[in-house]
Structure 1
């Protein structure tokens, strides 16, 4: 498969307001039967979007969840059918257990990994390496790929599938007719750190609630990594100017409130604050920068509860004006301020009215909130007119939320990467003669592990290219 060279660097950062650890795998005794007897975990798949001359390597772990020994165990790879749509990918991803006819046949056993006996409660690692041309992939598409453990039990000693995990393999033997363009948004947003109080000295030294922001700015911290990763990617920066103003204040003397709430102590983040701002100034050069209203106000709350509060909407206008001057003063670039981004891209008519009241003519929505109603058989371009000269920029919900959950776990991140690539490929296959612009807008403040996982799909997606 020919990789899309433009995707060597691409996109934004991911989903969710915080890294929410996935619930522990529930290996309940009642479910550890039949084709759910052994837990199969895929922890690595390379290359993520192979070409015919490649060798596909799939690694992971198998765990016997029963109280008996599995004998004659082997781990093999299965190629299932091509997916017939984006919903089919969702359905397959959530399916559990082995279903004959749906999970394909095992590839030649010479590529399988022999495990032998697998005692109760024990785990074994595996690694399968198979030339891609031995997968016998046909037409361009997204193929279901399964890793299964076959073996016998004391009650049923004959070979049978006792566990399976599915993922996806995007396949394209040649260039697509018209590649859909992926536009990535990269949010630099943080919580408010400065209190309303200031010291009583001549300089009115700011007082911070705590010094946690310094850790985020330091090498290895969340915000430091966001800038380090984003500087080489073709992205649109989406920045809360309050974060810039806060970090700028940290470059000078500042105080930190003691945990007891009584008294303050000197803050010590001056060096990392200066280094971070310097790195960000260089990173945004030549890139498009969008400034959210100062302190990123909750547009939904304003729309549903704040309209009757005197001065609430006028403060939004002021926050937008302050946003432009703050970004331009600190970063030396003139940002766009005609975008509004409601939390999670959730919109209704009231939110749109509030968002556009302060001068924003582009509202970043999400496809699970603002659905396409024209009966199209394909994913349409993101920009959609919503009246009054305003545009809804509808981000793709599946891609934008692809990396929710605990991406520090190899299994979760591997499956998320392949699913992201599968959905990207399917968008292109839906209407290969129609070039569309798709927006990926992960929201909130994603943790470092999830950011790193976002980089990898862009290096191999066969169906799309990046765009500002």
Structure 2
């Protein structure tokens, strides 16, 4: 009876739970009961980006995808509004943790009655601005709230996307005074270094062919060029852009335009982006002509990490002084002494950069003191807007997966800095997107058009970088007025490379130095040895790139540098006869062939290993001409008869191994001098001992007869 009662109570509890779950109305307070990701939302379109007097409604479209393990039914969505932002600190906190969206709400709209695993549906919301309560000028947080009912669960919030929306007043700017000066850096950089091999005679080999897609129409890098080009009609806005270029990207694209190869799982194949690379370089060259250009560190290198690698050259100098490359490929000289690193600002790195000629470093607010170069900080609040898409709940995604959210947040931050919320900064606003930002042409254009609307409203004054740098003083470490502002990658800090990576890169540098010391210019080729060694230094610099995500990536990049050293050293080889060598005498010389496939002269040292039956004579270091093949007879003395194996190898005079070890099989029927002496001594001893024995026997027999 007790068991029956317990069973009945359990049934009653389950029925009540199902009843209440079925009667829940969509609500912003609904919380996901399943911690696993079920829905993912990607914003596709939002208009207006900046609300002005003529706008009456907000429209948002998005794609909703079921990424969970079960069907979801009754999916609905609504837009909700949070409190108006009035200070930079408040907006900084909102970017980290959005406040409750209770100031206004649209009607709930249906998205899909049922969404099976892996299926997608289009979401479209149109909400009157009056219904959302967007009356007063300012910056407002928006919440796109997605509710649904997953199988085996109740109605809950399954995904949410946080947005920011600037609202202008009826007469434009909501404040008096002069508009805020705004300048924007426009970076061109690879998302990660691609070069894994550089040959003096066969061009570059890339790790994959992703750059071909980025350079093609509609690709990331192509969009950066075309979107900026589209703003020439607004001369002030276009002149406020300063293009920041990574010399490694320029060299890579230039190599692609001349024909390149790609490493795949099935082997090395020809790359497909040659024409796109050639066209993109021409378009970039036209875009930056007579315009502001600044330099990024080579391959996004961490300058602080470079100071930790022992080298006979100054690696920081190599990473920050590539204006000649930019001039050669873009026909323009970047702003002298101006550098925009992604991070790695240790005191030692700053000092070495200053020693290399860097006078101005554009950076995030940092506690690092000036070390010979002036620090000019970009706006951390705007950078936080770029860095955070701020999606949350089970549909959370990185900012790079929501570029529309990131650029919209950055525009809103610029508007707040310009006084839309009632607080205007007294300093110019320097806008600095992530070096590797991944934004479509449409979204880039929307962002620039939004800045143009802020310009028309009298909030911002597009200003050139040169003017901004001339009006700001050295950064004083301390409070920037945006305490708590998030920094996605802590750009002011230096990466601490794993010890094994530092050791590998140090070995690469020491080997490169030794190889260079063994090389010299061949008069017939006139190729400088540094042209062969420089790619090794660049491989080391790439291995410190801040584009790498974790220690595993750094280790792979270090192995790539190590592999390039082996590829270079393998161009100098020694070979031996394929058939056994029969020695006619104990002093017969040993034949070897030395090959140098490099366009420089190289001095090599011949070494014999595993040769107990052989005594080589002293072998002088041998100079090899460029692209030569010579035969040598190595004097040696055979110590024993028979068949035996010796190993022949090459190295630099400093000890770096060159090429592969060759095996030589020897057959000897002759005795060496030592062997003859030993044999003669043994024979003489045998005769003496035998004679002594015969003498003693004869003496004994004589005594017996007597």
Q: TM-score, normalised by structure 1?
A: 0.66
| 2:429 pairs with 1:438 | yes
Partners of 1:358 and 1:320 in 2: CA distance: 8
In our comparison, the structure showing a higher alpha carbon Rg is 2
**Aligned runs of 1:7-406 on 2, under 5 Å?**
35-36=30-31, 43=43, 44-54=45-55, 55-59=57-61, 77-92=79-94, 103-106=102-105, 112-113=107-108, 115=110, 127-133=124-130, 135-146=132-143, 166-173=162-169, 174-175=172-173, 176-177=175-176, 178-190=178-190, 191-193=193-195, 195-199=197-201, 205-209=202-206, 212=209, 213-233=211-231, 234=238, 235-252=241-258, 254=259, 256=261, 259=264, 269-292=273-296, 297-303=301-307, 305-306=308-309, 309-313=310-314, 315-317=315-317, 320-321=320-321, 323-343=322-342, 345-367=343-365, 369-370=366-367, 386=370, 388=372, 390-396=374-380, 397-402=383-388
The 1:330/1:148 distance shift into structure 2, 3 A limit, reads: closer
Partners of 2:110 and 2:138 in 1: CA distance: 32
The root-mean-square deviation of aligned C-alpha atoms, in Å, is 4.7
- Residue aligning to 2:447: 457
The 1:81/1:355 distance shift into structure 2, 3 A limit, reads: same
The 1:89/1:226 distance shift into structure 2, 3 A limit, reads: same
The CA deviation string for residues 177-202 of structure 1, in whole angstroms up to 9 with x for no partner, is 33333322222223252624323xxx
Aligned residue for 1:144, secondary structure, equals strand
The CA deviation string for residues 362-416 of structure 1, in whole angstroms up to 9 with x for no partner, is 112113x459xxxxxxxxxxxxx9364623333423144246965686xx34543
Aligned residue for 1:35, secondary structure, equals coil
CA contact (8 A) 2:416 2:424 kept: no
Aligned residue for 1:82, secondary structure, equals coil
Number of residue pairs matched by the alignment: 394
Aligned residue for 1:355, secondary structure, equals helix
The 1:310/1:221 distance shift into structure 2, 3 A limit, reads: same
Partners of 1:61 and 1:260 in 2: CA distance: 34
- Residue aligning to 2:688: none
CA contact (8 A) 2:389 2:400 kept: no
- Residue aligning to 1:420: 410
Q: TM-score, normalised by structure 2?
A: 0.46
Aligned residue for 2:183, secondary structure, equals strand
Partners of 1:423 and 1:104 in 2: CA distance: 20
Aligned residue for 1:398, secondary structure, equals helix
- Cα offset, 1:419, TM superposition: 2.5
The 1:51/1:194 distance shift into structure 2, 3 A limit, reads: same
Aligned residue for 1:325, secondary structure, equals helix
CA contact (8 A) 2:47 2:59 kept: yes
Unaligned runs of 5+ in 2: 1-26, 34-38, 232-237, 391-396, 465-706
The 1:391/1:268 distance shift into structure 2, 3 A limit, reads: same
Aligned residue for 1:81, secondary structure, equals coil
The 1:87/1:434 distance shift into structure 2, 3 A limit, reads: closer
Partners of 1:275 and 1:346 in 2: CA distance: 33
Partners of 2:222 and 2:323 in 1: CA distance: 23
Aligned residue for 1:208, secondary structure, equals strand
CA contact (8 A) 1:320 1:337 kept: no
The CA deviation string for residues 253-308 of structure 1, in whole angstroms up to 9 with x for no partner, is x453765898x7666654333222211111112321113455554312123x13xx
Report 1 or 2 for greater relative contact order, CA contacts < 8 Å, sequence distance ≥ 6.
1
Partners of 1:226 and 1:116 in 2: CA distance: 33
Partners of 1:141 and 1:91 in 2: CA distance: 16
Partners of 1:120 and 1:267 in 2: CA distance: 40
Worse overlay, 46-55 or 428-437 = 428-437
- Cα offset, 1:359, TM superposition: 0.6
- Cα offset, 1:223, TM superposition: 2.9
Aligned residue for 1:391, secondary structure, equals strand
Worse overlay, 294-303 or 352-361 = 294-303
